[in-house]
Amino acid sequence: MLRVRGLTKSFVGNVVLRDADLEVRPGQVLGLVGENGAGKSTLMKILAGVHQPDAGTIEIDGETVTFGHPVQAQQRGLSTVFQEFNLLPERSVAENIWLGREPRRRGMVDTAAMNRDTEELLAGLGITGLKASRRVRSLSVAEQQIVEIAKAVSFDSRIIQMDEPTAALADHEVELLYRIIGTLTARGVAIIYVSHRLKEIFALCDTITVLKDGEQVATSPAAELDEGRLVRLMVGRSMSSFFPDPFPDTTVGEPRLELRGAGNGYVDDIDLTLRGGEIIGVAGLQGSGRTELLEAIFGVAPLTRGDLLIDGSAVTVRTPRQAVRRGLALVTEDRKATGLAVHQSILDNALGVVHAVFPSRTGEARRAMPGMLSTLAVSARSMAQEAQFLSGGNQQKVVLARWLSTRPGVVLMDEPTRGIDVGAKHAIYEVMRSLAAEGVAVLMVSSELPEVIGMSDRILVMRDGRIAGELPRGSSEETVLGMATGSLEVAS
Amino acid sequence: MTRVRKLTSTGIVYSVLLLAIVVGAILTASNDRNFFSTGNIDNILTTTTILGFIAIGQTLVILVGSLDLSVPFVVSLASVVGGGIMAGSSGKIVPAVLVTLGLAVVIGLVNGVVVSLLKVHGFIATLGMGLILSGYLASNYQGSSGTAPRAFRLLDATRIGPVPIATLLMLAAALLAIWMLRRTRLGHHLYAVGGNAEVARMSGVRTQVPVIAAHVLCSVLAAIAGLLLLARLGVGQPTVGSQGNYDLMSIAAVVLGGTLLAGGKGNITGTLAGVAIFAVLDNVMGVMQTNPFLKDVVRGVVIVVAVAVYARRDLDRRPARFERPTGLDAALQEAK
């Protein structure tokens, strides 16, 4: 029904998908797996009509098709449920599903027919009790997911792609999704199912395609694979000496940050001890609460229960400002949105936090800045250059300068090397090691497993907003992934 | 546990309007005047009518995610152009109205095209248009200009019972706009583009159409308001729009009516209540001979408090995994 041949795509000279093939038959569930950056999303977006391929062909029913716009893919019966919902929160379920195709009678939108069609559509998926006139904002995440799927089905789709559909769902809601998928395949609809959760892949899929570094490494019937083999196919790369070893004079000292039974709306029951000189990595799937943990500590979404101890004394941190005053620093995930003011100069950015929180130390920090920027090897024409003109790696170094000039005792880092080149990555790892050698404690969240494993003295694995377990230095990717997905239960 | 039915934002606005009327009636009575006298009701309705036309248009523009700051100058332009063509002769009423509205269509079209195709934010695009129009008015008209014939002045003077015919026209325009928003694709797409233009585009909506349509309708409604002022005053006035502060007052009424300034959420019914609240406030303070400064203070406080309440309600939060929202936040989330 759907046949993909030799699909290739690169972004700014970076090949993200190379020569990918795919074949889907009616009623089939094809699992698409791979690590972050393996090319799954790119492949999906090409099939959805969001990106156009550089090379390769897409055939539907033996006919070669090209999609310049998502609507064209939908008209050919290929719909996509993206991980981020494309819904209008202020509009009703029916209005969202039929947006752009509202049924009309005598020129007017036929609201009654629209609601009726919606309820029939939902009933066909085995869903009752979701009213077509409800506003999407009032729905739970699972219900919104159902609306997205119903919208995809409403195009009379014969192929539906789903990107991490269970990422935000609770267990009983996952059951419902399985049932819907069963209903669809019984009608002959084919599903392309992308997930990190290997259990789901094995429960649902009859064929599995593995992508790694933009290439297809295997396609095989699910019955011929097991979780262990699948993980090896996904990971299958040799660990290089890319990650610097701890500096020889690093000593693990007193606890600098402790959490005891801490939680808020997003994380729960968190116990952790972070000592000076330590680098702890936090691993977990998308939506497992990694970023939320850092935000809870830093007062972005303050803790509502449990205790937070800094350097041994109990403190409360209700705002980021209080966190900074207590010696915390947070390098955020999205440097353009929350890390930097891109229209300001390097110098203003690097002094931003000191100036705001410790104004009396601004002069001192300003004098130290040329030295700090050259230690970090920021390459720029001058300190007056606007941050927006720097490469991602140099921007990230400016973010580090911004935080290190507050002389923090605990540095929280969220995806510290996202979207930056290899050289800059290495430089940032060096900075982390030298911070540890100075007795600073580092807590790093990363979705790149090699990075977590290569840099961490200990690894905390999160799942569903809680710490699922702790793994020692040098654990394998299989073990971390197993604990993150829940396929491997904590031994201790 | 029994759940109290929570008010929608429109419900809140109408409760406030009711409160304003009750308090207004009491204050008026304490000054030995009757709030519900024909003269007083007429005063309130007249104020409501002009701002009502403009605010209906402004609602459409704000819903689609834009803004229109050129309305006061469109109002002035309509009054002098309409009056100029009529020049006191009742035979010229029809061509005058047609030319005036045609001119408004052109202005709205330019606003809409600049916003949707050149991607200039409505604030700037219509600020520019407003400057151009005000420059034209200032250099070509000194003092009043043009006169409305008697027949056209009847538009303002005629009443059915206590209700001016112009007010009925405004309500008819409101009903049409409500129908358009609820029952036409254009209306649905207006909400969609204002809510999230990218989602609308991905769903195959031509996103320029609703933006342009909203701007054209807004200019036309402002021109109708200008023609009504011409009928009331009998002469065209090049400053009648800017004196009325119709740009900011209409935006204030729309937001007071519960429409999100960012677009995508709101309705005409709320806007009408917003307009009426301002009219009642003005009337009561006029009766009580409140000093002008205090009048502005009251208006200012009303609008800021309203938006503060709405902002609290519309806080976009991630759903919590481990806690239910409590107290005020829970109530406000329910009210959404």
Whose tokens are 């010696």? That residue is A327
Q: Which of A260-264, A311-315, B13-17 has the lowest mean pLDDT?
A: B13-17
DSSP letter (8 states) at residue A386: B
Cα torsion B69, B216, B99, B130 to 10°: value is 20
Q: pLDDT digits over A272-286, tens only?
A: 999 999 999 999 987
Select from B53, B91, B19, B15 the least CA-distant residue to B284. Answer: B19
In degrees rounded to 5, what are phi and psi of residue B35? Answer: -60, -35
* Helices B150-157, B208-233: crossing angle, 10 deg rounding: 100
CB atoms within 10 A of CB B263: 24
Distance (Å, rounded) from C-alpha B110 to C-alpha B141? 23
Q: What is the pLDDT confidence band of residue B1, given thresholds at 50, 70 and 90?
A: very low
Radius of gyration for the alpha carbons in chain A, expressed in angstroms and rounded: 25
What is residue A305's predicted lDDT score, i.e. its pLDDT?
Answer: 94
Residue B16 carries which side chain, given as an amino acid letter?
A: V
Distance (Å, rounded) from C-alpha A453 to C-alpha A478? 11
- Minimum Cα–Cα distance from A140: chain B residue: B319
- Asked if B185 lies within 8 A of A104 by C-beta distance, the reply is yes
* Helices B268-287, B292-314: crossing angle, 10 deg rounding: 150
* Torsion sign over Cα B214, B215, B216, B220: positive
Give the 3-state secondary structure of A96-161: HHCCCCCCEECCEECHHHHHHHHHHHHHHCCCCCCCCCCEHHHCCHHHHHHHHHHHHHHCCCCEEE
Contact B129, B107 (CB under 8 A): yes
What is residue B316's predicted lDDT score, i.e. its pLDDT?
Answer: 47
- Minimum Cα–Cα distance from B265: chain A residue: A90
Which of A100, A104, A267 faces B205 most closely, judged by CB atoms? A100
Q: Is the pLDDT of residue A230 over 90?
A: no
Contact B205, B192 (CB under 8 A): yes
Q: pLDDT digits over A15-39, tens only?
A: 788 888 889 999 999 999 887 667 8
Q: Which of A424-428, B244-248, B324-328 has the lowest mean pLDDT?
A: B324-328
DSSP letter (8 states) at residue B148: -
Select from A138, A266, A144, A135 the least CA-distant residue to B334. Answer: A138
Beta strands in chain B (DSSP E): 145-147, 159-160, 163-164, 235-236
**B270: three-class secondary structure by DSSP:** helix
Residue of A67, A74, A98, A99 to mutate, interface with B, max B Cβ within 10 Å:
A99
Distance from CA of B184 to the nearest CA of A (A): 5
Residue B264 in tokens = 């995508």
Q: Is the pLDDT of residue B332 over 70?
A: no
- Asked if B188 lies within 8 A of A111 by C-beta distance, the reply is no
* Torsion sign over Cα B271, B273, B276, B282: negative
Residue of B322, B323, B336 to mutate, interface with A, max A Cβ within 10 Å:
B322
Select from A128, A186, A124, A110 the least CA-distant residue to A152. Answer: A124
Select from B194, B180, B198, B163 the least CA-distant residue to B264. Answer: B194
- Asked if A95 lies within 8 A of B320 by C-beta distance, the reply is no
Surface-to-core class of residue A428, CB atoms within 10 Å of its CB (0-12 exposed, 13-18 middle, 19+ buried): buried
Helix-then-strand count for chain B, H and E: 15, 4
**A326: three-class secondary structure by DSSP:** coil
Could you give the percent of chain A with pLDDT greater than 70? 96
Residue A311 in tokens = 């350097």
Mean pLDDT of chain A: 89
- Minimum Cα–Cα distance from A99: chain B residue: B203
What is residue B39's predicted lDDT score, i.e. its pLDDT?
Answer: 87
Q: Is the pLDDT of residue B281 over 70?
A: yes
Which of B185, B195, B318 faces A102 most closely, judged by CB atoms? B185
Write out chain A residues lying below 8 Å of B322, CB-based. Answer: 263-268, 465
* Helices A141-154, A111-124: crossing angle, 10 deg rounding: 100
Write out chain B residues lying below 8 Å of A84, CB-based. Answer: none
Distance (Å, rounded) from C-alpha A448 to C-alpha B183? 49
Q: Tell me the H-state helices in A268-421.
A: 290-297, 320-325, 346-357, 362-375, 392-404
How many Cβ pairs within 8 Å bridge chains A and B? 84
What is residue A172's predicted lDDT score, i.e. its pLDDT?
Answer: 76
Q: What is the pLDDT confidence band of residue A491, given thresholds at 50, 70 and 90?
A: very low
- Rounded mean pLDDT of A197-226? 87
Give this prediction's pTM: 0.79
Q: pLDDT digits over B95-105, tens only?
A: 999 999 999 99
Which of B183, B196, B204 faces A109 most closely, judged by CB atoms? B183
Q: What is the pLDDT confidence band of residue B318, given thresholds at 50, 70 and 90?
A: low
Surface-to-core class of residue A69, CB atoms within 10 Å of its CB (0-12 exposed, 13-18 middle, 19+ buried): middle
Distance from CA of B65 to the nearest CA of A (A): 14
- Asked if B323 lies within 8 A of A102 by C-beta distance, the reply is no
Q: Which of A362-366, A421-425, B110-114 has the lowest mean pLDDT?
A: A421-425
Distance (Å, rounded) from C-alpha B283 to C-alpha A429? 69
- Asked if B320 lies within 8 A of A265 by C-beta distance, the reply is yes
Distance (Å, rounded) from C-alpha B130 to C-alpha B141? 16
- Asked if B192 lies within 8 A of A91 by C-beta distance, the reply is yes
Cα torsion B217, B221, B227, B230 to 10°: value is -140
